[in-house]
Chains A and B, each alone.
Chain A
Amino acid sequence: MRRSIHALFALAALGTLPGLSAREQAPAAAPAASTSGAPKPDEAALLAELEALNEEFEAAQQAFYAKLNELYAPYREREPSEAEAAELERKVKELYAQDPSKSFTPRYTALAKKAPGTPAAAKAWLRVVNIGGDDEAQFRGAVAVLLAEHLERAELTELASALAYTQLPPEFVRSTLGTLRSKSPQPSVQAAATLSLAIVLQREDVAQAKELYRELVAKFAALDAGWGGTYGEIATRALFELEHLQIGMVAPDFEASDENGVKFKVGDYRGKVVVLDFWGFW
């Protein structure tokens, strides 16, 4: 029954032949050469400090979300009254004023500045990128340092991936992704930046997005994206969606088996208006 779907995966697999093997990723970059004269920062101590800060941040975040959850708890089963809704909104606002990301960003920044160019600094700047998302100046500042001082690192994959889903100005997002794509020596960064750029462009320039997805299939087919499979698989699915699942296109057909084990196709329903609802409770 799954023949047509298998064909799709076979296509993805074919793309892997000339591509990179998943293991071919360059080893993690060596720390940038320490500058002469300045006392060499103790990398192990810095990483330990970063680790402690991460733990503290995660605990603060958990507490924050637990409180938020508590505020909403009474209204899971029923709608709040007007007065309750107003009170809820006030309390949620109050809580968000103490959102831990606000107080932790300066601490990560301070840590990063202690040892410029080191792996610990790169990790700290990446944290600033990840948690300071709605503060544009902070985000841009951290990105500037990462591009200037840490461009060779594989950890920038995280930055490349994050840039697919930000509210930052499109120009800035595109130029940063362009730099990561063309200047990073790391296949994982190049691939993640290419995918993010395709996702960003898909909204305005489908032709260019398709080209980028094809590039992913050609160059990074077997490289693991960390979620959703390999870049080849992700790009092949995105291309299929762009080429077959847009408004105005005839829906592709696949044979399915229903809850009683009876096989059927979408095509069996020609002549009827059909709603396809991908759903689940899990």
Chain B
Amino acid sequence: MLPHEKALVERLKDKPFALIGINSDGDAAAVRKLLAEQGITWRNAIDVSTEGPWARAWNVSGWPTIYVLDSKGVIRFRDVRDAELEAAVNELLAELEAAK
């Protein structure tokens, strides 16, 4: 998952794309340390724990849980990983490009 995400973020760094983590490993300081150790460059919402407010509100009970939103904020894919995630993002970027 992680190497694939890093490649995705690197490849799309000049595109209208964002990967946002919602992390449940602790407070901001703990997560900052973790991100540095893992070489993660994208933004993370601090959810503190698996019982955090985001996880609760979005009824998350398994990790990772993935949602892919289009440029209008509409949920278009759920629980896609790796190659499927890549394809989903490519599809939505192509859609956005075509709409211009």
* Cα distance, A137 to B21, chains bound together (Å): 45
Q: Is the CB of A273 within 8 A of B32?
A: no
Residue-wise, chain B 48-78 has the 8 Å CB interface mask toward A (1 for contact) of 0010011111111101111111111111111
Secondary structure at chain B's binding surface: helix, strand, loop or mixed? mixed
Using an 8 Å CB-CB cutoff, how does the interface string of A253-282 with B read, 1 for contact, 0 for none? 110111111001011011111111111111
Q: Within the complex, what minimum Cβ distance (angstroms) separates A43 from chain B?
A: 38
Residues of B within 8 A of A5 (CB): 53-54, 56-57
Provide the residues of chain B in CB contact with A271, threshold 8 Å. 16, 71
Q: Are B16 and A272 in contact (CB under 8 A)?
A: yes
Please tell me if the beta carbons of B73 and A250 are within 8 angstroms of each other in the complex. Answer: yes
Q: Which of A46-54, A159-167, A187-195, A235-243 contacts B (4 or more CB under 8 A)?
A: A235-243
Tell which of B16, B17, B66 touches A276, judged by Cβ atoms closer than 8 Å. Answer: B66
| Closest B residue by C-beta to A9 | B56
Interchain CB contact under 8 A, A280 and B23: yes
Nearest opposing residue in chain B for A261, CB measure: B28
What are the residues of chain B within 8 A of A2 when measuring CB–CB? 53
A254-B53, A271-B71, A278-B60 known; A259+B96 contact, CB < 8 A: no
Number of residue pairs A-B, CB distance < 8 angstroms = 162
Bound CA–CA A104/B2 (angstroms):
41
Give the residues in chain A near B46, CB-CB below 8 Å: 256-259
Mark interface residues in A13-46 (1 if CB within 8 Å of B CB, else 0). Answer: 0000000000000000000000000000000000
Query: What residues of A have a CB within 8 angstroms of the CB of B1 in the complex?
Result: 279
Q: Is the CB of A280 within 8 A of B75?
A: no
Interface size of A by Cβ–Cβ distance < 8 Å?
42
Q: Are A275 and B45 CB-contacts (below 8 A) given A254-B53, A261-B28, A280-B24?
A: no
Tell yes or no: B18 within 8 A of A by CB: yes
CB distance from A30 to the nearest CB of B (A): 36
Residues of A within 8 A of B19 (CB): 274-275, 277
Is B85 a contact partner of A278 (Cβ separation < 8 A)? no
Known: A259-B35, A259-B44, A278-B63. A240 touches B70 (CB 8 A): no
User: Separation in Å of the A224 CB from the closest CB of chain B?
Assistant: 15
Q: Are A256 and B57 in contact (CB under 8 A)?
A: no
For B65, list chain A residues within 8 Å (CB).
Answer: 277-278
Give complex CA distance A2, B38 in Å.
Answer: 29
Min CB gap B80→A, angstroms: 9
- The docked-state distance in angstroms from the alpha carbon of A241 to that of B59 is 6
Partner of A275, one of B50, B54, B85: B85
B54 contacts which of A258, A273, A278 (Cβ < 8 Å)? Answer: A278
Is B78 within 8 A of A247, CB to CB?
Answer: yes
Assess whether B44 is in contact with A273, with CB atoms less than 8 Å apart: no
Partner of B59, one of A240, A250, A272, A279: A240
A265, B22: Cα distance in complex, Å: 12
12 extra interface residue pairs, beta carbon distance < 8 Å, beyond A269-B73, A274-B69, A277-B64: A5-B54, A5-B56, A8-B56, A245-B67, A247-B77, A256-B45, A258-B44, A259-B43, A273-B71, A274-B73, A277-B5, A279-B63
Give the B-binding residues of A (Cβ under 8 A): 2, 4-5, 8, 228, 237-238, 240-241, 245-254, 256-261, 264, 266-267, 269-282
> B interface vs A, CB < 8 Å?
1, 5, 8, 15-25, 28, 31-32, 34-35, 43-47, 50, 53-61, 63-78, 85, 89, 92-93, 96
